[in-house]
Amino acid sequence: MNSNLTTKWNKCLEIIRDNVSKATFNTLFADIEPLKYEDNTLTIQVKSNFVYEFLEGNFVDLLRSTLFKVMGNGTQLMYSILTDKDNNRSVVVGTENYGSNGSGNSGNSAPKAMQESIQDLDSMLINKYTFDNFVEGVSNRLSRSVAISVADRPGRAFNPLFIHGTSGVGKTHLINAIGMRIKELHPELRVLYISAHLFQVQYTDSILQKNFNDFMRFYQSIDVLIIDDIQEFAGLQRTQNAFFHIFNHLHLNGKQLIMTSDRSPAQLQGMEERLITRFKWGMTAEIEKPDIELRKSILRNKSYKDGLEFPEEVISYIAEHVNASIRDLEGIVVSIMARSTINNEAIDTNLARRIIGDFSNYEKKELTIEDIVKKVADYYGVEPESINTRSRKREVVLVRQVAMYFAKKYLDLSTAKIGLYIGNRDHATVLHACKTVANLADTDKQFRTELSEIENSLQCA
């Protein structure tokens, strides 16, 4: 890294540190790396899209004034968003507030030249996920069967394929297995796996870099498009519009579309009805949480694959006491193996009991925005549906603001999405609500008690 650039960025950090709280600095700014400074444009690397959105939404003026002071008036800003830490993949986007000089590229995973051959196309599939190591049980048998049919006859069987289920049940594994099998059986096809989040980043980048037509041509050239976590499109109307036209083009031309979501099409909020209708055109399959027999099979498979054999009583004990996702079960196995290897402890039910105690939060249901709205509404005796009306009644406004406050505190959602889900408001309304609740809590002891009681109920949800 250029030492002069490092010195200048450190000066920027000194100014920023004096203008934000310690917690904010450590969370948002401390890990930022300056990558390059060319053509009066500074490119910085941030560790996630959440950090990018938060900086853009709350600190862009501070960044602008700081860069102007240290690096000169008119300094432009670009973000390199780390999207895959394991493979060091990132995408570069500009900022609407600054504009863009158009010189950035979109990283290893963004659409490249439209004329690239099948051999040159990076499918972005996760190679370790195959049908061979996908453990089958009652909860996923239908989805696996349908997935194999799609892999054998892409574009002809179950198109589109929409797979849904809670986090950690194996959706990502299954759709990557489809992609891997298609590449094996049909090497002539262009296969692409991508997260909805990365698709959205690429779309935004194409607008800022003025290469939207290239973006569309690239996606319309794909034979098998696999999109993970499609619910991330909620509230992103322009991204949805672009995907709508891509979907129509691919489906009309007999190309295969595969999508996953944490909920069924009927339960998707913030999604255009015309898209939801298309999601239902083909096959919708749910992967449920694994039953006890599948949990045992997963544990046996994981321990065997990692080179250790767990006693059957340990397998049974874990399966009976951890009613969670596949990801959680595998995490338990890794922890037991680490403790056994490092401390030379026997793998028995006593060790399993201690490890599961350390993972006590695994049993807790993941908090959702629906949970927050219901808890707050119940606490104040208001119907949850009322927050989506235009009512200005004091109690309805209060529920809406408190729900926004806790959603921003506990959920990894942008303020725009929170506003969409809670009352169909904009991001400015959410920021105002959070500020109002925080100010009231500072001055009203009774209100602080109410917030504390609601927060306790959320933590027990």
Task: Answer yes or no: is 102 within a domain.
Answer: no
The CATH number that applies at residue 410 is 1.10.1750.10
The residue written with tokens 């992967």 in the block is: 287
Supply the pLDDT for residue 98.
Answer: 43
Tell me the pLDDT band of 163, cut-offs 50, 70 and 90. very high
Tell me the pLDDT band of 346, cut-offs 50, 70 and 90. confident
pLDDT in tens, 101-120: 333 333 334 444 344 444 56
Task: Report the number of distinct structural domains present in the chain.
Answer: 4
* Residue 160 zone, left/alpha/beta (φ > 0; ψ -120 to 50; rest): beta
What number is the average pLDDT over the span 263-286?
88
Asked whether residue 279 carries a pLDDT value surpassing 70, the answer given is yes
Supply the pLDDT for residue 385.
Answer: 85
More confident residue, 29 or 323: 29
At 322, the amino acid letter reads V
Residues 330 and 438 in one domain: no
What number is the average pLDDT over the span 231-241?
87
Residues 399 and 444 in one domain: yes
Tell me the pLDDT band of 353, cut-offs 50, 70 and 90. confident
- Of the three residues 315, 346, 363, the one that is the final residue of a domain is 363
Residues 160 and 260 in one domain: yes
- Of the three residues 286, 321, 338, the one that is the final residue of a domain is 286
Asked whether residue 222 carries a pLDDT value surpassing 80, the answer given is yes
What number is the average pLDDT over the span 439-452?
86
- Of the three residues 334, 363, 392, the one that is the final residue of a domain is 363
Supply the pLDDT for residue 118.
Answer: 47
Supply the pLDDT for residue 107.
Answer: 37
- Residues facing residue 224 across a β-bridge: 191, 256
Task: Answer yes or no: is 168 within a domain.
Answer: yes
List the strands of the sheet with 256-261, edge to edge. 191-195, 224-228, 256-261, 161-164, 283-286
Task: Answer yes or no: is 100 within a domain.
Answer: no
- Residues facing residue 138 across a β-bridge: none
Supply the pLDDT for residue 9.
Answer: 93
Residues 165 and 246 in one domain: yes
Residues 267 and 298 in one domain: no
Supply the pLDDT for residue 105.
Answer: 37
Residues 323 and 206 in one domain: no
Supply the pLDDT for residue 308.
Answer: 67
Residues 251 and 174 in one domain: yes
Residue % of the chain over a pLDDT of 90: 25
SS (H, E, C) 130-194: CCCCCCCCCCCHHHHHHHHHHHHCCCCCCCCEEEECCCCCCHHHHHHHHHHHHHHHCCCCCEEEE
Supply the pLDDT for residue 78.
Answer: 87
Asked whether residue 71 carries a pLDDT value surpassing 80, the answer given is yes
Domain, as residue range, for 435: 369-459
What number is the average pLDDT over the span 357-369?
61
Task: Answer yes or no: is 128 within a domain.
Answer: no
Task: Answer yes or no: is 108 within a domain.
Answer: no
pTM score: 0.51
Supply the pLDDT for residue 138.
Answer: 76
Tell me the pLDDT band of 180, cut-offs 50, 70 and 90. very high
Cα of 76 vs its chain's centroid, Å? 28
Supply the pLDDT for residue 405.
Answer: 92
The CATH number that applies at residue 29 is 3.30.300.180
Largest CA distance in the chain: 68
Task: Answer yes or no: is 39 within a domain.
Answer: yes
The CATH number that applies at residue 156 is 3.40.50.300
Task: Answer yes or no: is 353 within a domain.
Answer: yes
Residues 357 and 398 in one domain: no
Supply the pLDDT for residue 349.
Answer: 82
Residues 392 and 406 in one domain: yes
SS (H, E, C) the chain: CCHHHHHHHHHHHHHHHCCCCHHHHHHHHCCCEEEEEECCEEEEEECCHHHHHHHHHHCHHHHHHHHHHHHCCCCEEEEEEEEECCCCEEEEECECCCECCCCCCCCCCCCCCCCCCCCCCCCCCCCCCCCCCCCCCCCCHHHHHHHHHHHHCCCCCCCCEEEECCCCCCHHHHHHHHHHHHHHHCCCCCEEEEEHHHHHHHHHHHHHCCCHHHHHHHHHCCCEEEEECHHHHCCCHHHHHHHHHHHHHHHHCCCEEEEEECCCHHHCCCCCHHHHHHHCCCEEEECCCCCHHHHHHHHHHHHHHCCCCCCHHHHHHHHHHCCCCHHHHHHHHHHHHHHHHHHCCCCCHHHHHHHHHHCHHHHCCCCCHHHHHHHHHHHHCCCHHHHHCCCCCHHHHHHHHHHHHHHHHHCCCCHHHHHHHCCCCCHHHHHHHHHHHHHHHHHCHHHHHHHHHHHHHHHCC
Tell me the pLDDT band of 282, cut-offs 50, 70 and 90. confident
Tell me the pLDDT band of 190, cut-offs 50, 70 and 90. very high
Supply the pLDDT for residue 387.
Answer: 85
pLDDT in tens, 30-63: 889 999 998 889 999 988 776 777 787 778 888 9
Supply the pLDDT for residue 96.
Answer: 45
- Specify the range with the lowest mean pLDDT, choosing from 52-61, 103-112, 127-136, 259-268: 103-112
What number is the average pLDDT over the span 77-96?
69
The pLDDT mean for the chain works out to 81
Asked whether residue 301 carries a pLDDT value surpassing 90, the answer given is no
- Specify the range with the lowest mean pLDDT, choosing from 160-174, 181-195, 335-349, 393-407: 335-349
The CATH number that applies at residue 350 is 1.10.8.60
Task: Answer yes or no: is 276 within a domain.
Answer: yes
Asked whether residue 236 carries a pLDDT value surpassing 90, the answer given is no
Asked whether residue 331 carries a pLDDT value surpassing 60, the answer given is yes
Residues 282 and 204 in one domain: yes
Residues 311 and 231 in one domain: no
Asked whether residue 188 carries a pLDDT value surpassing 70, the answer given is yes
Residues 164 and 282 in one domain: yes
What number is the average pLDDT over the span 308-323?
78
